[in-house]
Structure 1
């Protein structure tokens, strides 16, 4: 009896364990999420990263429908970066290597690396295909497609499809970057990616960034809503018809145009029509033949103009009546009088600007044209803030004086001090222009023509990187003795990096102290002028 009873007890225990196991298995098999309200499911899905969201869409038709509902309600932000995603695939060991019968991988380290890259690229391609297919017909807030393009790769047609998708679907902010391929193999302009033909006319695209590709303006019909266009390392190749006028005509709402390290047709920046752009930035652009190009445009709404390059050609910007900021920086060592004429002509056409920033090259070159300017033919009457990058070389003095005379209503002057760099006057052989024939130490005292801004308008002077050199002290003294309505001069000493116990540190300390006392004791034409010195031992304010 005991034996039978014991057996029954053991059987009962086994049955109970079996029931609990079945209940556990049943609970694990139940789908509790699918029966939730749709709003809650969509809220949960909204927290998933893009990769997981695409994976969920592959589970079933129901889940694909849910994902489609989500991305149709909430515009997506897609960042498809090939190099970044390939690195993650490889680092996470998501690449499966084919082995031999013993399970070993019969590859050398180099072969394994090449196989990993090819396999990771295939995974990236598949992911992009699924992602874009999933978003067909949906609004995409931001799409960034960064590709390791290689002209010898076999998947150029896929890239064409992705680009066509981005330009034919409802994308609001687009970035197409093909520069990552340079990390694997450097190529000339003939080997970079060329945007496909398609007569594209994106209606809702507001901003577009193109990086490292060839572009024909003829492939676009119109950008109905485009406000910002940024071209970086782009070569515009339909030279016979491509001009900035044609580009702007295809973008009726364009406000900001950036061209950085681009190769453009010779007359790309020449146009007769009025353009509505508000900001124009040209940084180190060139043509196939020359490192410079003429700028002849009409821009009645232009507010900000930036020109950075190697040389200047005769240029003008017409009708820029509302110009707020202008920056011209030519980081070049050489010049001739033609450059002086070109800069003078350009500044004369910008006579409505309110803030002007010039590099040391511009300051040295400006007065060296054929007429050896002491002031611009047309004064900059609207200019309120002049900013100059100076090294306080002798060759800068005439340019500084020319600019001070040309800005009669200037209220603020900023001097950013750098290491001295003298322009090399190659065209003049061994002789520099005659305008530089003067005694350096007495130049400012010898100036006879009046400086109206010093008499009536200059209120604030800011000096950055002050080192206490003789030419710097002379300029500060000249400004203090002649600026009759000056209210504030802020001087920021250059920072030195020496150990606290060194002899050099002690000498710097004494020099700072002496310079500070000398600056504070300079006579002032304005009784309201306050001098603030930063970076000295005493932080004087007087």
Structure 2
């Protein structure tokens, strides 16, 4: 019989022999055996200085760093205040970028180059020249210079450049003549320019014409000083964004392939005459945000329009501009989703003209409104509802600035006085018949149980025959469970409902 000590010795001998055949996986470099493309993808997720430090590991990693195609220097610390100590730090950062570009392999192309830096125009131009020499495809530059600089012309003749973004933090840059710009960029698909000085070139009517930028699909212009007239008609253009061009007086946009158009913070309200013309049969999204109302608006051939968002600056709408508002809504009448900011409601409410002439939105399924919901907004809301005969979803965002006096709802006084809001909504029952027979979902955010809010909710519950869901959200939690609020909600649950399928929820 084998003793316990003998069995232990046998087990020890067995495991020692097994260990002789087990390789030591801890000393095997599995990562270095991965293909270059996979390692480049992993390194792209790390800060650029960390990627540079991997070059000291071995010849293999030194080769990976020298051929690394995606250089993102935005993780460095740019735009430090201009002091003697921090200025030297700014120079070190730009020197690092220059050093990396200078020491790359001769046949090593750059796929992506991004950097932010405070530097002179000569150094900026030198960095961009190095990038062009390595056939950069995506060039994203954000700079801070001491004075205005000229657009770097070395990028215009590049055959490899696909995406170019140039943003000046301060003070800005000047564009070359249109003839120079349109003679290059044969392969450019996306162009984004920010903080352009056009004081001596107020019109860009011929720069983005039909024959220029033949493959340009995306164009973004931000903060163009002195720009008064702009025409965009690039053949392949699909996405257009124009922002912070307050001096703009005329805008002409046309394109058979244009799908998205965003115009924001343009057209100063104090300009005497301004006009807008958009002709794009494939346009699917229109975002018109915080713009002054132009004197003449013409939106043509928007047969594919899916989503539209309208936000107008606060201004007194003269009789001469009433037709422009009507044209704006008529041009967007084929939209399926529509968002209107609060000033749109104000304009519609203050001008009874639109009670007759507001165009019908026969395709509209989703409507989102922002309003202070003051007493004088009620006619404007009714006007909009009347123009949406087949609406499915209504989202009402009530702006509660607590400066406008609004009466809290009181059931006893309500039944005795039969408030003006309730009388008005009841008078609109016949005019809103189609709207009430199609509406299924209602969401009201910022619902504080004030008189005009409750009157609208009551009206929709009473006459909404297709209503399935009504969600009333306060937007804040402090008084959500107060006794008074619970009492009001109980009373609302007692209203007569036209739809047996309707559900109401309080949040």
Fold-level similarity (TM above 0.5): yes
Distance 1:339 1:196, change over 3 A: same
Higher strand share: 2
**SS of residue paired to 1:309:** strand
2:325 to 343, 346, 356: 343
CA distance in structure 1 between the partners assigned to 2:442 and 2:67 by the alignment: 56
CA distance in structure 2 between the partners assigned to 1:80 and 1:386 by the alignment: 40
Distance 1:291 1:393, change over 3 A: farther
After TM superposition, the structure 1 stretch with the greater mean CA deviation from structure 2, 359-368 or 346-355, is: 359-368
Deviation sequence 1:182-224 (CA, Å, 0-9, x none):
xxx9xxxxx5444233471555555444333335373533545
Which residue pairs with 2:229 in the alignment? 267
Which residue pairs with 2:281 in the alignment? 300
2:501 to 512, 517, 528: 528
Which residue pairs with 2:49 in the alignment? 51
After TM superposition, the structure 1 stretch with the greater mean CA deviation from structure 2, 466-475 or 480-489, is: 480-489
**SS of residue paired to 1:124:** helix
Q: Which has the greater radius of gyration?
A: 1
Deviation sequence 1:326-379 (CA, Å, 0-9, x none):
11123536544455432221111112211110111011113555x711154532
CA distance in structure 2 between the partners assigned to 1:288 and 1:389 by the alignment: 21
What TM-score does the superposition give when structure 2 sets the normalisation length? Answer: 0.72
**SS of residue paired to 1:399:** helix
2:92 to 111, 118, 123: 123
2:335 to 353, 359, 371: 353
Preserved CA contact (<8 Å) 1:303 1:325 = yes
1:174 to 139, 142, 149: 139
Which residue pairs with 1:146 in the alignment? 116
**How far is 1:256 from its partner?**
4.5
Preserved CA contact (<8 Å) 2:397 2:446 = yes
Distance 1:350 1:49, change over 3 A: closer
1:399 to 376, 380, 393: 380
CA distance in structure 2 between the partners assigned to 1:281 and 1:349 by the alignment: 15
2:309 to 313, 321, 327: 327
Higher helix share: 1
- Unpaired runs of 5+ residues, structure 2, are 1-29, 232-250, 405-418
Which residue pairs with 1:246 in the alignment? 208
Which residue pairs with 1:79 in the alignment? 73
**SS of residue paired to 2:472:** strand
After TM superposition, the structure 1 stretch with the greater mean CA deviation from structure 2, 333-342 or 525-534, is: 333-342
Which residue pairs with 2:175 in the alignment? 216
Which residue pairs with 2:241 in the alignment? none
**How far is 1:251 from its partner?**
4.0
Preserved CA contact (<8 Å) 1:172 1:206 = yes
Alignment size in residue pairs? 435
1:492 to 473, 490, 504: 473
Q: What RMSD in Å do the two structures reach over aligned CA positions?
A: 4.2
1:515 to 488, 491, 501: 488
CA distance in structure 2 between the partners assigned to 1:520 and 1:350 by the alignment: 37
CA distance in structure 1 between the partners assigned to 2:389 and 2:358 by the alignment: 13
CA distance in structure 2 between the partners assigned to 1:65 and 1:254 by the alignment: 37
Alignment of 1:37-116 (within 5 A): 47=43, 50-51=48-49, 66-67=63-64, 70-71=67-68, 75-80=69-74, 83-84=77-78, 114-116=83-85
Preserved CA contact (<8 Å) 1:259 1:285 = no
CA distance in structure 2 between the partners assigned to 1:407 and 1:194 by the alignment: 51
Alignment of 1:412-491 (within 5 A): 412-419=393-400, 440=421, 442-447=423-428, 450-491=431-472
CA distance in structure 2 between the partners assigned to 1:404 and 1:528 by the alignment: 22
Preserved CA contact (<8 Å) 1:337 1:368 = no
**How far is 1:160 from its partner?**
2.2
**SS of residue paired to 1:242:** strand
Preserved CA contact (<8 Å) 1:321 1:352 = yes
